[in-house]
Amino acid sequence: MSFQQDPYGTGSPYLDGQMLVAMPGMMDERFARAVIYVCAHSPEGAMGIILNRPAGNLNMPDLLVQLEIVPEPERIHLPERVGRIQVLMGGPVETSRGFVLHSPDFHLAQSTLPIDDGVCLTATIDILRAIAQGRGPQQAVLALGYAGWGAGQLEHELQANGWLICPADAELIFSTPAEIRYEMALRRIGIEPAMLSMDAGHA
């Protein structure tokens, strides 16, 4: 079966709006145990956001102050939900750039890319200003950087069994703690994480 004939059973030859879950044998350390939401996938390549790498001690209010969107004295007046927005290390490409995955209740003309029914991507500073002012989306995560693949590269990794494909949903992206997204994504496709361990014994 060729790539064009939908070898992954998703109903489309492309994986926009799906999640990739790294197999235990993933050779690239940058993607070990990664869960990646695929934002764009075409014959030219693919890009996605790693969902389970929290950005250390960096939080959304810190970031808004660092970017001078909010002066430090105003930080205390930020809407409460701003502090609940997760900041992630989204991938090794353009790590100084921010990408916001968010619910579809917020849209900026020319800037917001709807990916599927429950998730959009906006990568301009205007969405951060809106979030700071309480006008942003109800649900959001901010990623610094992204994961990228050249033409045919992701297809090759899939055929080499580097990734499992998992249907995405807003709950897993916005509401599940980053630390357990890997296990939750595996369970969504009926796999117990222990079953995938490279050290697992035989039944």
Express each pLDDT in 33-91 by its tens digit.
999 999 999 999 999 999 999 998 889 999 999 989 999 988 888 988 899 999 999 99
* The model scores a pTM over 0.85: yes
Computed on alpha carbons and rounded to an integer, the radius of gyration of the chain in Å comes to 18
Categorize the per-residue pLDDT at 199 as very low, low, confident or very high, splitting at 50, 70 and 90: very low
Q: Which residues pair with 41 in a beta bridge?
A: 46
- pLDDT value of residue 9: 44
- Between residues 6 and 198, the one the model is more confident about: 198
Task: Please check the confidence at residue 13 and state whether its pLDDT lies above 90.
Answer: no
Helix extents (H) in 9-120: 60-66
| Cβ-contact 94, 67 below 8 angstroms | no
Q: Between vectors from CA 50 to CA 196 and to CA 127, what angle results, nearest 5°?
A: 155
- pLDDT value of residue 8: 41
Percent of the chain surpassing pLDDT 70: 90
Strands (E), the chain: 18-22, 35-42, 45-50, 86-89, 93-102, 112-116, 119-122, 140-149, 163-167
Residues 54 and 178: their CA atoms lie apart, in Å, by 7
Categorize the per-residue pLDDT at 2 as very low, low, confident or very high, splitting at 50, 70 and 90: very low
Express each pLDDT in 153-193 by its tens digit.
999 999 888 899 999 989 999 999 999 999 999 998 888 87
Residues 182 and 75: their CA atoms lie apart, in Å, by 33
For 79, residues 6+ apart whose C-beta sits below 8 A from its C-beta are 134
Q: What is the pLDDT averaged over residues 6-28?
A: 75
**Residue 184, phi-psi category: left (phi > 0), alpha (psi -120 to 50), beta (remainder):** alpha
CA 200 to chain centre: 28
| Cβ-contact 40, 93 below 8 angstroms | no
- pLDDT value of residue 25: 77
Enumerate domains of the chain plus CATH numbers: 3-52+148-196 (3.40.1740.10), 60-145 (3.30.70.1300)
- pLDDT value of residue 27: 77
- Burial-class residue 107 by CB neighbours within 10 Å (0-12, 13-18, 19+): middle
